[in-house]
Amino acid sequence: MPRCQRFCVDVTDGVCRLGWIITLVGPLRRIGRALLAFGLVLIAGTVGYVILGFGALDAVYQTVTTVTTVGFREVHPLTAAGQLFTIMLILMGVGTALYAFGVLLEALIEGHLRQRMGRWRMDRQISRMTGHTIICGCGRVGSASVQYLSMLGKPIVVVDRDPARLQDLEYPTVLGDVTDDRILEAAGIARASALISAVDTDASNIYVTLSSRALGPDLVIIARARTEESKSKLLRAGANRAVNPQLIGGRRMAAFALQPHVSEFLDVVMHDETLDYRIEEIEVTTMSPLVGQSLADAALREATGALLLAIRSATGQFIANPTGDTRLAPHTILIALGTSTQLDAVRQHVDAH
């Protein structure tokens, strides 16, 4: 896969519309028009020679040799009318042929066809993706999300209006304004499982959240909030979570100052890919055989080796270090600590015995 092929539907800043679309769509249109004109000249020349009394194959042959200036002799002697027609065909055909060949050569040299094919392959790749995460905005916050999700091997599609930010990415990308519904549809929002809105302004994040919620009622939407005042607006707009990176960063720095070992342990478990331990969540679905059982009966620790840190009930209440008599209801979320093997065993244990 090429390092980065971008799909641009529409933008509002003018740069993509006049720059990117012209560099991709413009040359293709010129190629199509040049080939169409060349084909029309060949058809007109063939029809003209047939009218002058040539056979169909002879007419095609005479037209091709005339237009391409090969210089072979005439198939049949030409009358005065035939000579005049040939002169007109040469004047129109040679220029058209040179223009068509020039446009094709320009497209091949500048890589327009290669870019077009790359965009087509990227479009097909995105159309086959399901359950992926769309990251809107590839600045500092968006790039950190891209890095974390890619570290976990999760499928992602990155959307940004700045082509420089997408230049060296190795993931499916969409170039355009995320406030445009067509851009979100091009990123496969109908098949995505989550969307992270990390664009630069709160107004844009609110707009993206509104559009995304309308296009994906069941989509998990995490939105960036630059101020505390905007968090409530983002939640009302349909975001599942509104996150203020500056606030979280400040609290994390303070936690490192007060409890460095606890903070470093949580940091390593959540973000260090070299350590096998992870904290993950597993849902107890309505079809799980553990529904209605107590934690003691479920024997998660004994069966899997993972440590159950907390559960979240279907009503949203957190219960830390739950006791053995706590019963598992449908849609309970288990928050477990363990290796990837242990966590996989928890999922299998929850799904079926």
Contact 280, 336 (CB under 8 A): yes
C-alpha to C-alpha distance for 48 and 111, rounded to whole angstroms? 38
Residue spans per domain, the chain? 9-116, 129-243, 276-351
Residue 1 has pLDDT above 70, yes or no: no
Instruction: Give burial (CB, 10 Å; 0-12/13-18/19+) of 350.
Output: buried
Q: Residue 92 corresponds to which tokens in the numbers above?
A: 């129109």
C-alpha to C-alpha distance for 273 and 262, rounded to whole angstroms? 18
Residue 197 has pLDDT above 90, yes or no: yes
**With a threshold of 0.85, does the pTM exceed it?**
no
Q: What is the largest CA-CA distance in the chain?
A: 107
What would the CATH number be for the domain defined by 129-243?
Answer: 3.40.50.720
pLDDT tens per residue, range 55-68: 888 888 888 888 87
Q: Residue 332 corresponds to which tokens in the numbers above?
A: 């309970």
pLDDT at residue 121, as a whole number: 81
Task: Give SS3 for 280.
Answer: strand
Among 291, 284, 281, 253, CA closest to 338: 281
Instruction: Give burial (CB, 10 Å; 0-12/13-18/19+) of 251.
Output: exposed
Which fold, 276-351?
Alpha-Beta Plaits (3.30.70)
Residue 73 has pLDDT above 80, yes or no: no
C-alpha to C-alpha distance for 13 and 160, rounded to whole angstroms? 12
Q: Which CATH class is domain 9-116?
A: mainly alpha
Query: What's the mean per-residue pLDDT of the chain?
Result: 83
